[in-house]
Structure 1
Protein backbone atom coordinates (compact mmCIF):
# COMPACT_ATOMS: atom_id res chain seq x y z
CA UNK A 1 0.00 0.00 0.00
CA UNK A 2 1.29 3.45 -0.93
CA UNK A 3 0.78 6.47 1.25
CA UNK A 4 -2.48 8.24 0.35
CA UNK A 5 -2.06 11.78 -0.97
CA UNK A 6 -4.57 14.64 -0.95
CA UNK A 7 -3.26 17.53 -3.11
CA UNK A 8 -5.34 20.01 -1.10
CA UNK A 9 -3.22 19.24 1.99
CA UNK A 10 -0.09 20.42 0.21
CA UNK A 11 -1.87 23.60 -0.89
CA UNK A 12 -3.36 24.61 2.46
CA UNK A 13 -0.84 23.32 4.99
CA UNK A 14 1.36 26.42 5.19
CA UNK A 15 -1.45 28.98 5.65
CA UNK A 16 -2.99 26.71 8.28
CA UNK A 17 0.38 26.25 9.98
CA UNK A 18 0.77 30.02 10.29
CA UNK A 19 -2.51 30.12 12.22
CA UNK A 20 -1.75 27.09 14.37
CA UNK A 21 1.71 28.33 15.35
CA UNK A 22 0.13 31.41 16.89
CA UNK A 23 -3.01 29.96 18.41
CA UNK A 24 -1.59 26.65 19.66
CA UNK A 25 1.59 28.19 21.08
CA UNK A 26 0.47 27.53 24.65
CA UNK A 27 -1.11 24.14 24.01
CA UNK A 28 0.41 20.68 24.61
CA UNK A 29 -2.02 17.96 23.47
CA UNK A 30 -3.96 18.24 20.21
CA UNK A 31 -6.68 15.91 18.97
CA UNK A 32 -7.05 16.10 15.18
CA UNK A 33 -10.49 14.87 14.14
CA UNK A 34 -10.77 13.55 10.60
CA UNK A 35 -7.04 13.25 9.88
CA UNK A 36 -7.76 11.87 6.39
CA UNK A 37 -4.50 10.89 4.73
CA UNK A 38 -2.30 11.84 7.69
CA UNK A 39 -0.39 14.50 5.74
CA UNK A 40 -1.44 17.36 8.01
CA UNK A 41 -0.56 15.36 11.12
CA UNK A 42 3.08 14.80 10.17
CA UNK A 43 3.56 18.30 8.73
CA UNK A 44 2.14 20.13 11.74
CA UNK A 45 3.73 17.83 14.31
CA UNK A 46 7.15 18.29 12.70
CA UNK A 47 6.74 22.07 12.64
CA UNK A 48 5.43 22.28 16.23
CA UNK A 49 7.46 19.75 18.24
CA UNK A 50 6.06 21.04 21.56
CA UNK A 51 2.68 19.54 20.64
CA UNK A 52 1.62 15.93 21.05
CA UNK A 53 -0.44 15.49 17.88
CA UNK A 54 -3.09 12.77 18.21
CA UNK A 55 -4.54 11.91 14.81
CA UNK A 56 -7.89 10.16 14.44
CA UNK A 57 -10.33 9.07 11.78
CA UNK A 58 -12.71 6.32 10.79
CA UNK A 59 -11.25 2.82 10.73
CA UNK A 60 -10.88 2.65 6.94
CA UNK A 61 -8.51 5.65 6.93
CA UNK A 62 -6.21 4.53 9.74
CA UNK A 63 -3.85 2.36 7.61
CA UNK A 64 -2.98 5.32 5.39
CA UNK A 65 -2.42 7.59 8.37
CA UNK A 66 -0.12 4.98 9.93
CA UNK A 67 2.00 4.94 6.76
CA UNK A 68 2.59 8.68 7.02
CA UNK A 69 3.31 8.54 10.76
CA UNK A 70 5.63 5.54 10.46
CA UNK A 71 7.53 7.09 7.56
CA UNK A 72 8.04 10.37 9.46
CA UNK A 73 9.00 8.65 12.73
CA UNK A 74 8.24 11.71 14.84
CA UNK A 75 8.34 11.39 18.65
CA UNK A 76 5.19 13.53 19.12
CA UNK A 77 2.77 11.55 16.93
CA UNK A 78 1.26 8.57 18.76
CA UNK A 79 -0.57 5.93 16.71
CA UNK A 80 -3.86 7.16 15.25
CA UNK A 81 -7.05 6.29 17.09
CA UNK A 82 -10.36 5.25 15.57
CA UNK A 83 -12.95 7.99 15.91
CA UNK A 84 -16.30 8.18 14.20
CA UNK A 85 -18.16 11.19 15.58
CA UNK A 86 -21.31 9.08 16.01
CA UNK A 87 -19.43 6.31 17.82
CA UNK A 88 -17.09 6.01 20.79
CA UNK A 89 -14.82 8.96 21.57
CA UNK A 90 -11.37 8.83 23.21
CA UNK A 91 -11.16 8.72 26.98
CA UNK A 92 -8.14 11.06 27.00
CA UNK A 93 -8.61 14.81 27.25
CA UNK A 94 -6.85 17.47 25.20
CA UNK A 95 -6.18 21.19 25.45
CA UNK A 96 -6.73 21.68 21.72
CA UNK A 97 -8.84 20.17 18.93
CA UNK A 98 -8.18 20.70 15.22
CA UNK A 99 -10.20 19.62 12.20
CA UNK A 100 -9.91 20.54 8.53
CA UNK A 101 -12.47 20.15 5.77
CA UNK A 102 -14.78 17.89 7.72
CA UNK A 103 -17.94 19.80 8.66
CA UNK A 104 -19.16 19.97 5.05
CA UNK A 105 -18.56 16.23 4.60
CA UNK A 106 -20.52 15.20 7.70
CA UNK A 107 -24.29 15.12 7.85
CA UNK A 108 -25.69 17.94 9.97
CA UNK A 109 -26.60 15.43 12.68
CA UNK A 110 -22.94 14.39 12.75
CA UNK A 111 -21.83 18.02 13.04
CA UNK A 112 -24.19 18.35 16.00
CA UNK A 113 -22.71 15.21 17.56
CA UNK A 114 -19.18 16.53 16.96
CA UNK A 115 -19.82 19.66 19.03
CA UNK A 116 -21.88 17.87 21.65
CA UNK A 117 -18.97 15.52 22.37
CA UNK A 118 -16.27 18.18 22.57
CA UNK A 119 -16.72 18.78 26.32
CA UNK A 120 -15.91 15.10 26.96
CA UNK A 121 -12.47 15.30 25.27
CA UNK A 122 -11.35 18.84 26.12
CA UNK A 123 -10.03 20.56 29.21
CA UNK A 124 -11.13 23.96 30.50
CA UNK A 125 -9.85 26.79 28.26
CA UNK A 126 -9.14 24.33 25.42
CA UNK A 127 -8.72 25.76 21.92
CA UNK A 128 -10.82 24.57 18.98
CA UNK A 129 -9.65 25.30 15.41
CA UNK A 130 -11.85 24.48 12.41
CA UNK A 131 -10.62 25.04 8.86
CA UNK A 132 -12.86 24.99 5.81
CA UNK A 133 -15.53 26.90 3.89
CA UNK A 134 -18.43 28.58 5.67
CA UNK A 135 -21.54 30.40 4.53
CA UNK A 136 -22.49 33.78 6.02
CA UNK A 137 -26.13 34.47 6.90
CA UNK A 138 -27.29 31.67 4.64
CA UNK A 139 -25.35 32.84 1.61
CA UNK A 140 -22.25 31.56 -0.15
CA UNK A 141 -19.24 33.82 0.18
CA UNK A 142 -18.00 33.11 -3.36
CA UNK A 143 -19.12 31.59 -6.63
CA UNK A 144 -16.52 28.86 -6.22
CA UNK A 145 -18.03 27.88 -2.86
CA UNK A 146 -21.49 27.75 -4.43
CA UNK A 147 -20.15 25.42 -7.12
CA UNK A 148 -18.35 23.34 -4.49
CA UNK A 149 -21.61 22.97 -2.56
CA UNK A 150 -23.35 21.64 -5.71
CA UNK A 151 -20.52 19.15 -6.18
CA UNK A 152 -20.80 18.04 -2.54
CA UNK A 153 -24.54 17.44 -2.80
CA UNK A 154 -24.00 15.38 -5.94
CA UNK A 155 -21.69 13.16 -3.88
CA UNK A 156 -24.17 12.91 -1.01
CA UNK A 157 -27.35 14.76 -0.15
CA UNK A 158 -26.22 14.99 3.49
CA UNK A 159 -23.16 17.10 2.59
CA UNK A 160 -22.96 20.87 2.24
CA UNK A 161 -21.20 24.03 3.37
CA UNK A 162 -22.38 25.00 6.85
CA UNK A 163 -23.49 28.43 7.97
CA UNK A 164 -21.10 30.11 10.38
CA UNK A 165 -23.88 31.23 12.73
CA UNK A 166 -25.30 27.72 12.98
CA UNK A 167 -21.88 26.32 13.83
CA UNK A 168 -21.24 29.09 16.35
CA UNK A 169 -24.51 28.18 18.07
CA UNK A 170 -23.42 24.55 18.41
CA UNK A 171 -20.03 25.65 19.75
CA UNK A 172 -21.69 27.97 22.29
CA UNK A 173 -23.92 25.13 23.42
CA UNK A 174 -20.79 23.06 24.07
CA UNK A 175 -19.22 25.88 26.11
CA UNK A 176 -16.96 27.36 23.43
CA UNK A 177 -16.73 31.08 22.58
CA UNK A 178 -15.58 32.28 19.15
CA UNK A 179 -12.36 34.29 19.45
CA UNK A 180 -11.12 34.55 15.84
CA UNK A 181 -12.54 34.20 12.34
CA UNK A 182 -9.62 34.35 9.94
CA UNK A 183 -9.80 34.52 6.13
CA UNK A 184 -7.77 31.84 4.36
CA UNK A 185 -6.86 31.18 0.71
CA UNK A 186 -9.44 29.69 -1.69
CA UNK A 187 -12.42 31.21 0.17
CA UNK A 188 -11.86 29.16 3.32
CA UNK A 189 -11.77 30.28 6.97
CA UNK A 190 -10.00 29.32 10.15
CA UNK A 191 -12.50 29.76 12.96
CA UNK A 192 -11.12 29.54 16.48
CA UNK A 193 -13.02 29.06 19.72
CA UNK A 194 -11.94 28.88 23.36
CA UNK A 195 -13.69 26.70 25.91
CA UNK A 196 -14.94 28.53 29.00
CA UNK A 197 -12.85 27.98 32.11
Structure 2
Protein backbone atom coordinates (compact mmCIF):
# COMPACT_ATOMS: atom_id res chain seq x y z
CA UNK A 1 0.00 0.00 0.00
CA UNK A 2 1.31 3.42 -0.89
CA UNK A 3 1.74 6.01 1.83
CA UNK A 4 0.10 9.41 1.68
CA UNK A 5 2.37 12.27 2.66
CA UNK A 6 1.32 15.79 3.57
CA UNK A 7 3.18 18.40 1.54
CA UNK A 8 3.56 22.03 2.55
CA UNK A 9 3.87 24.56 -0.28
CA UNK A 10 5.20 28.06 0.37
CA UNK A 11 4.58 30.97 -2.01
CA UNK A 12 7.18 33.73 -1.83
CA UNK A 13 7.57 37.11 -3.50
CA UNK A 14 9.62 40.23 -3.98
CA UNK A 15 7.82 43.45 -4.87
CA UNK A 16 10.82 45.66 -5.58
CA UNK A 17 14.31 45.14 -7.02
CA UNK A 18 15.54 46.57 -3.70
CA UNK A 19 14.25 43.41 -2.00
CA UNK A 20 16.92 41.29 -3.69
CA UNK A 21 19.88 40.27 -1.54
CA UNK A 22 22.49 38.72 -3.86
CA UNK A 23 24.20 35.51 -2.86
CA UNK A 24 27.88 35.30 -2.05
CA UNK A 25 30.00 34.88 -5.19
CA UNK A 26 31.11 31.26 -5.54
CA UNK A 27 34.72 30.29 -4.92
CA UNK A 28 34.93 28.58 -8.31
CA UNK A 29 34.69 30.15 -11.73
CA UNK A 30 31.05 30.06 -12.88
CA UNK A 31 29.34 31.65 -15.86
CA UNK A 32 25.61 32.24 -16.23
CA UNK A 33 24.40 32.25 -19.83
CA UNK A 34 20.93 32.59 -21.29
CA UNK A 35 19.88 29.68 -23.48
CA UNK A 36 18.69 31.80 -26.40
CA UNK A 37 17.74 28.90 -28.68
CA UNK A 38 14.68 27.04 -27.43
CA UNK A 39 15.75 23.42 -27.19
CA UNK A 40 13.21 20.98 -25.73
CA UNK A 41 15.95 18.36 -25.46
CA UNK A 42 18.25 20.60 -23.40
CA UNK A 43 15.43 21.97 -21.25
CA UNK A 44 14.15 18.47 -20.51
CA UNK A 45 17.70 17.43 -19.58
CA UNK A 46 17.98 20.32 -17.11
CA UNK A 47 14.52 19.60 -15.68
CA UNK A 48 15.22 15.92 -15.05
CA UNK A 49 18.85 16.32 -13.97
CA UNK A 50 17.95 18.97 -11.40
CA UNK A 51 14.47 17.85 -10.37
CA UNK A 52 14.75 14.08 -10.56
CA UNK A 53 15.61 13.80 -6.87
CA UNK A 54 12.99 16.36 -5.75
CA UNK A 55 9.70 15.06 -7.15
CA UNK A 56 9.64 17.24 -10.25
CA UNK A 57 7.19 15.14 -12.23
CA UNK A 58 4.77 17.63 -13.79
CA UNK A 59 6.62 17.88 -17.10
CA UNK A 60 7.91 14.31 -17.38
CA UNK A 61 5.07 13.30 -19.69
CA UNK A 62 5.37 16.35 -21.93
CA UNK A 63 5.85 15.82 -25.64
CA UNK A 64 8.56 17.58 -27.61
CA UNK A 65 5.85 19.91 -28.94
CA UNK A 66 4.68 20.85 -25.43
CA UNK A 67 8.24 21.69 -24.41
CA UNK A 68 8.72 23.77 -27.56
CA UNK A 69 5.47 25.69 -27.03
CA UNK A 70 6.45 26.48 -23.44
CA UNK A 71 9.94 27.64 -24.35
CA UNK A 72 8.73 29.77 -27.27
CA UNK A 73 6.23 31.75 -25.19
CA UNK A 74 7.16 35.44 -24.95
CA UNK A 75 8.70 36.09 -21.55
CA UNK A 76 10.13 32.61 -20.96
CA UNK A 77 13.88 32.59 -20.39
CA UNK A 78 16.27 29.87 -19.26
CA UNK A 79 19.52 30.89 -17.59
CA UNK A 80 22.16 28.21 -17.13
CA UNK A 81 25.13 28.22 -14.75
CA UNK A 82 28.23 26.59 -16.24
CA UNK A 83 31.30 25.30 -14.39
CA UNK A 84 34.22 24.38 -16.65
CA UNK A 85 31.92 23.72 -19.60
CA UNK A 86 29.42 21.63 -17.62
CA UNK A 87 25.91 22.75 -16.66
CA UNK A 88 25.69 23.20 -12.89
CA UNK A 89 22.14 24.51 -12.52
CA UNK A 90 19.48 26.67 -14.06
CA UNK A 91 16.72 29.20 -13.56
CA UNK A 92 13.62 29.24 -15.77
CA UNK A 93 11.73 32.54 -15.75
CA UNK A 94 8.17 33.06 -16.95
CA UNK A 95 6.96 36.67 -17.32
CA UNK A 96 3.26 37.51 -17.57
CA UNK A 97 1.53 40.86 -17.10
CA UNK A 98 4.41 42.50 -15.19
CA UNK A 99 4.97 39.52 -12.91
CA UNK A 100 7.83 37.07 -13.33
CA UNK A 101 7.61 33.60 -11.87
CA UNK A 102 10.77 31.69 -11.13
CA UNK A 103 9.16 28.61 -12.62
CA UNK A 104 12.13 26.30 -11.99
CA UNK A 105 15.41 26.74 -10.17
CA UNK A 106 18.00 24.30 -8.94
CA UNK A 107 21.39 22.69 -9.16
CA UNK A 108 22.61 19.44 -10.65
CA UNK A 109 23.57 17.00 -7.88
CA UNK A 110 27.34 17.45 -8.29
CA UNK A 111 26.97 21.22 -7.73
CA UNK A 112 24.97 21.03 -4.49
CA UNK A 113 27.01 22.12 -1.48
CA UNK A 114 29.54 24.04 -3.60
CA UNK A 115 28.29 27.52 -2.70
CA UNK A 116 26.44 28.01 -5.99
CA UNK A 117 22.76 27.96 -4.95
CA UNK A 118 22.50 31.37 -3.32
CA UNK A 119 24.56 32.99 -6.05
CA UNK A 120 22.54 31.41 -8.89
CA UNK A 121 19.22 32.30 -7.28
CA UNK A 122 20.39 35.90 -6.84
CA UNK A 123 21.55 36.11 -10.45
CA UNK A 124 18.33 34.58 -11.76
CA UNK A 125 16.20 36.92 -9.66
CA UNK A 126 18.16 39.94 -10.93
CA UNK A 127 17.39 38.80 -14.48
CA UNK A 128 13.71 38.52 -13.58
CA UNK A 129 13.75 42.15 -12.44
CA UNK A 130 15.41 43.45 -15.62
CA UNK A 131 13.65 41.18 -18.12
CA UNK A 132 11.69 43.99 -19.81
CA UNK A 133 15.01 45.62 -20.75
CA UNK A 134 15.87 42.54 -22.85
CA UNK A 135 12.38 41.82 -24.13
CA UNK A 136 10.68 44.73 -25.91
CA UNK A 137 6.93 44.56 -25.46
CA UNK A 138 7.04 43.07 -21.98
CA UNK A 139 5.73 45.14 -19.12
CA UNK A 140 8.35 46.20 -16.57
CA UNK A 141 8.58 43.72 -13.72
CA UNK A 142 6.67 44.80 -10.63
CA UNK A 143 6.76 41.46 -8.81
CA UNK A 144 8.91 38.31 -8.81
CA UNK A 145 7.45 35.22 -7.22
CA UNK A 146 8.25 31.56 -6.67
CA UNK A 147 6.88 28.58 -4.87
CA UNK A 148 8.68 25.73 -3.14
CA UNK A 149 7.48 22.78 -1.14
CA UNK A 150 8.57 20.37 1.55
CA UNK A 151 9.60 17.86 -1.15
CA UNK A 152 12.24 20.26 -2.53
CA UNK A 153 15.83 20.36 -1.35
CA UNK A 154 16.27 21.01 2.37
CA UNK A 155 17.95 24.40 1.78
CA UNK A 156 15.39 25.70 -0.75
CA UNK A 157 13.09 27.72 1.54
CA UNK A 158 16.00 29.20 3.51
CA UNK A 159 17.75 30.19 0.27
CA UNK A 160 14.68 32.03 -1.02
CA UNK A 161 14.31 33.90 2.27
CA UNK A 162 18.02 34.74 2.34
CA UNK A 163 17.69 36.30 -1.15
CA UNK A 164 14.94 38.62 0.12
CA UNK A 165 11.79 36.68 -0.79
CA UNK A 166 8.91 36.89 1.69
CA UNK A 167 6.32 34.19 2.26
CA UNK A 168 2.87 35.48 1.28
CA UNK A 169 0.96 32.20 1.41
CA UNK A 170 1.37 28.68 2.74
CA UNK A 171 -0.76 25.66 1.93
CA UNK A 172 -0.89 22.12 3.23
CA UNK A 173 -2.07 19.65 0.64
CA UNK A 174 -2.17 15.94 0.17
CA UNK A 175 -0.97 15.36 -3.42
CA UNK A 176 -2.56 11.95 -3.84
CA UNK A 177 -2.36 8.30 -2.92
CA UNK A 178 1.16 7.83 -4.18
CA UNK A 179 4.32 7.38 -2.19
CA UNK A 180 5.95 10.79 -2.52
CA UNK A 181 9.14 9.38 -0.99
CA UNK A 182 10.00 7.61 -4.25
CA UNK A 183 11.78 9.99 -6.58
CA UNK A 184 11.92 9.36 -10.31
CA UNK A 185 15.62 10.16 -10.64
CA UNK A 186 17.10 12.01 -13.61
CA UNK A 187 16.06 9.31 -16.12
CA UNK A 188 13.75 6.30 -16.10
CA UNK A 189 15.08 3.64 -13.77
CA UNK A 190 17.85 5.81 -12.32
CA UNK A 191 16.17 6.29 -8.95
CA UNK A 192 17.45 8.64 -6.27
CA UNK A 193 21.15 9.15 -5.64
CA UNK A 194 22.72 8.09 -2.36
* TM-score normalized by the length of structure 1: 0.34
TM-score under structure 2 length normalisation: 0.35
Q: Which has the higher contact order (CA 8 A, sep 6+)?
A: 2
Q: Which has the higher helix share?
A: 1
